[in-house]
């Protein structure tokens, strides 16, 4: 087994982690300061969302230079020190490669947009106007047309996300080479791996045409027209050959639009990445791309089926990143459970699954403290570009302002981005300045300091789970063998000698106690457990002796 199969990865959102400058946004030095804390979580890798030079239209996912650190985060020397200090804490740093697009402030784009015949003219996706308007009716993922007019060049450019994030043209070999160079630059600095952003959009269809509108605005999501276009894997095999093959780094691709059934082509022996974030279990509300105003109801059985299919598809070949939160998703306790549930128990239930399924667990900043969502009183309080786009779209679909705001409360990415809560001092100890996003109102009771002092806290639960993963190798090595498949509340499985039962409902449940095989309790979220019974949201891990 490789090191990254045995470790736990922590996804860190640097802008909200710790500010050492009093500027209201997190810094790389802040991460260095908290390496003891990260090590205490038992993790072996930190995936940092982008810290490269960026105008921050999309909080760093709009990169102006792949080989420079944004001054708000610090300097390249700080970054080098982070690599070195992290190593002393047995932590590898994983970088976020944003290779589908750059910032419109990137010199590559500035040159490409300057004329139709400059040396980088074909580095982005340019098209003439069609009948005096956008070349197609594609809607960008953050709302509005996916095309923006460039006066200088007298053409439109394509952007899957915001207008400030023009899509690169991967069909141009010079573009691919420049990107591979950027990735290798970070390997040379000491990166332990890459999370690869929005990768399913890099190959565009040969013909660009209008799609059947899916909204009142007459547009169709660009996702439905360009995601996972045949031929994409050719580029990615080339990426693998030029960047990661034979090196001690791992890759995890963000793969919206790839189904569990397609996983074998993407991961494993002959795949292109080591792991793939496949979203079916956290996008249960949506068919295809996220449309916050059109959520569908889902059941625990749907969640179980989604988890089962990614486990099954990779059981003989490939590896799964197990995850339930990230910087784009709502917080677990408010996402997977009915209103009014105990946040502590809900967070522990998800933590148990996260750390005991087959795969590499990815814990997202704050998940180890069981954070909930925020619900701010007006759309103006939100920073997230996607919240604004989704709000406007909901209004255009005929929802009232209150209804549109309710969608934002439920799905906004800002819920995952509020500042880390270190203690109960002003601004939760995150900054001495004004935080770029308000600190969650519960910070006085829920923070690292108070939870460190409470043995029943979610933080202690995560620390114990990390210890347990190290002690019981079955949790990393053994196959996933599901039990009680038909049960509509309980997720249960065997991992070698380990037995895991999690009640995902807020009602007590019973099951055949023989399935416990007289195992002894290793960890339980209630003070006591009765064989064959689970209390609301109970999570228990047993070892068969
Ligand atoms: C996925 C990232 O996780 C998200 O935060 C970002 O907005 C888009 N890709 C565009 O880069």
pLDDT for residue 261 is more than 90: no
CA of 393 to the centre of ligand 1 (A): 19
Phi-psi region of 101 (alpha: psi -120 to 50; beta: other; left: phi over 0): beta
Extract the tokens encoding 156.
Answer: 């439109």
400 and 513 together in one domain: no
Q: Is residue 379 included in any domain, yes or no?
A: yes
| CA 197 – ligand 1 centroid, Å | 6
Burial 425-440 (b: 16+ CB within 10 A, else e): eebbbbbeeebbbbbb
472 CA distance to ligand 1 middle (Å): 35
Say if 458 falls within a structural domain: yes
In this prediction, residue 287 carries a pLDDT of 86
| Planar angle of CA 309, 459, 10, nearest 5 degrees | 55
What is residue 289's DSSP assignment?
Answer: S
- Same domain for 342 and 447, yes or no, is yes
Cα 541-542-545 angle, rounded to 5 deg: 155
Domain-ending residue, one of 455, 471, 487: 471
Task: Return d(Cα 381, Cα 377) in angstroms, integer.
Answer: 7
Residues 366 and 449 in one domain: yes
Instruction: Write phi, then psi, for 220 (nearest 5 degrees).
Output: -130, 145
Per-residue pLDDT tens digits for 15-44: 999 999 999 999 999 999 999 999 999 999
- Give this prediction's pTM: 0.97
Q: Tell me whether residue 14 is in a domain.
A: yes
Residue whose CA is at the smallest distance from ligand 1 atom 4: 328
Same domain? For 487 and 508 the reply is: yes
Q: Is 197 a catalytic residue?
A: yes
Predicted local distance difference test score (pLDDT) of residue 48: 98
Ligand 1: atom nearest CA of 62 is 11
The residue range of the domain holding 437 is 1-98+323-374+419-471
If you write DSSP's letter for every residue of 76-103 in order, what string do you get? HHHHHHHHHHHHHTT-EEEEEE--SB--
Q: Is 33 a catalytic residue?
A: no
- Residue 75: the pLDDT is 98
> Are 495 and 533 within one domain?
yes
Residues in contact with 395: Cβ distance below 8 Å, sequence separation at least 6, in sequence order: 401, 404
Say if residue 337's pLDDT is above 90. yes
Q: Do residues 526 and 502 both lie within one domain?
A: yes
Asked if residue 317 has pLDDT above 90, the reply is no
Rounded Cα gap, residues 228 and 217, in angstroms: 24
Mean pLDDT of all residues belonging to the chain: 97
In a domain, 449, yes or no: yes
- Residue 326 CA: nearest ligand 1 atom is 3
- Measuring from each residue's beta carbon to the nearest atom of ligand 1, which residues come in under 6 Å? 58, 61, 98, 161, 197-198, 254, 327-328
Whichever domain contains 81, its CATH number is 3.20.20.80
Residues 514 and 497 in one domain: yes
Same domain (yes/no): 336, 423: yes
- DSSP letter, residue 361: E
Domain count for the chain, please give it: 3
What mean pLDDT is predicted for residues 497-505?
Answer: 98
Same domain, 483 and 346: no
**Residue pair 394/403 in contact by the 8 Å Cβ criterion:** yes
Q: Read out DSSP for 124-183? A: B-EE--BTTB-SS-EEPTTSSBSEEEETTTTEEEE-SS-TTSPBB-TTSHHHHHHHHHHH
- Same domain for 450 and 407, yes or no, is no
Residue 181: inside a domain = no
In a domain, 241, yes or no: no
pLDDT in tens, 265-312: 999 888 999 999 999 999 999 988 899 999 999 999 999 999 999 899
Do 45 and 3 have their domain in common?
Answer: yes
Decide if pLDDT at 207 tops 90: yes
Asked if residue 501 is part of any domain, the answer here is yes
Backbone angles phi, psi at 402, to 5 degrees: -65, -40
Q: What percent of the chain has pLDDT over 90?
A: 95
Same domain, 384 and 497: no
Residue with tokens 């199969």: 5
- pLDDT at residue 544 in the model: 98
pLDDT beyond 90 at 250: yes
Cα separation, 23 vs 436, in Å, equals 9
């Amino acid at each position: 087994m490789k090191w990254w199969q045995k470790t736990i990865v922590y996804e860190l959102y640097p802008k909200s982690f710790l500010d050492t400058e009093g500027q209201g946004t997190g810094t790389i030095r802040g991460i260095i300061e908290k390496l003891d804390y990260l090590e205490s979580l038992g993790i072996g890798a930190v995936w940092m969302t982008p810290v490269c030079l960026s105008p921050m239209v999309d909080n760093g996912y709009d990169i102006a230079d792949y080989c420079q650190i944004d001054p708000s985060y610090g300097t390249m020397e700080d970054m080098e020190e982070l690599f070195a200090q992290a190593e002393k804490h047995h932590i590898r740093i994983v970088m976020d490669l944003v290779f589908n697009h750059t910032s419109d402030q990137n010199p590559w784009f500035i040159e490409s947009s300057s004329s139709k015949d400059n040396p980088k003219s074909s580095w982005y996706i340019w098209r003439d106007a069609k009948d005096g308007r956008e070349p197609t009716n594609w809607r960008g993922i953050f709302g509005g047309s996916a095309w923006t007019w460039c006066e200088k060049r007298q053409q439109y450019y394509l952007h899957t996300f915001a207008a400030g994030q023009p899509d690169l043209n991967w069909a141009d070999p010079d573009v691919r080479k420049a990107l591979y160079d950027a990735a290798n630059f970070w390997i040379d600095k000491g990166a332990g791996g890459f999370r690869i952003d929005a990768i399913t959009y890099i190959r565009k269809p040969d013909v660009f045409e209008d799609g059947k509108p899916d909204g009142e605005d007459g547009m169709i999501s660009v996702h439905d027209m360009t995601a996972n276009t045949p031929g994409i894997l050719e580029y990615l095999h080339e990426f693998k050959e030029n960047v990661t093959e034979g090196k001690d780094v791992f890759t995890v691709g963000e793969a919206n639009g790839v189904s569990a059934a397609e996983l074998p082509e993407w991961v494993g022996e002959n795949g292109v990445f080591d792991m793939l974030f496949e979203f079916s279990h956290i996008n249960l509300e949506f068919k295809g791309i996220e449309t916050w105003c059109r959520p569908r109801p889902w059941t625990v059985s749907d969640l179980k089926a989604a988890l089962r299919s990614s486990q099954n598809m990779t059981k003989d070949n490939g590896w799964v990143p197990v995850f339930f939160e990230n910087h784009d998703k709502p917080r677990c306790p408010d996402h997977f459970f009915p209103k009014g549930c105990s946040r502590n128990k809900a967070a522990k239930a998800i933590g148990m699954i996260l750390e005991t399924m087959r795969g590499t667990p990815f814990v997202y900043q704050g998940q180890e403290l069981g954070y909930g969502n925020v619900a701010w009183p007006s759309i103006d309080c939100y920073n997230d570009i996607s919240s604004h786009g989704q709000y406007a779209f909901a209004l255009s679909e005929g929802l009232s302002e209150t209804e549109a705001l309710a969608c934002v409360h439920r799905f906004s990415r800002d819920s995952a981005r509020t500042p880390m809560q270190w203690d109960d001092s002003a601004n939760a100890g995150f900054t001495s300045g004004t935080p770029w996003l308000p600190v969650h109102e519960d910070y006085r009771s829920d923070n690292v300091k108070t939870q460190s002092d409470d043995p029943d806290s979610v933080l202690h639960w995560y620390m114990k789970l990390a210890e347990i993963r190290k002690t019981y190798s079955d949790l990393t090595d053994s196959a996933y063998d599901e039990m009680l498949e038909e049960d509509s509340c309980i997720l249960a499985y065997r991992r070698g000698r380990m037995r895991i039962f999690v009640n995902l409902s807020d009602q007590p449940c019973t099951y055949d106690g023989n399935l416990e095989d007289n195992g002894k309790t290793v960890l339980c979220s209630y003070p006591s457990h009765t064989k064959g019974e689970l209390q609301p949201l109970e999570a228990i891990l047993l070892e068969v002796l």
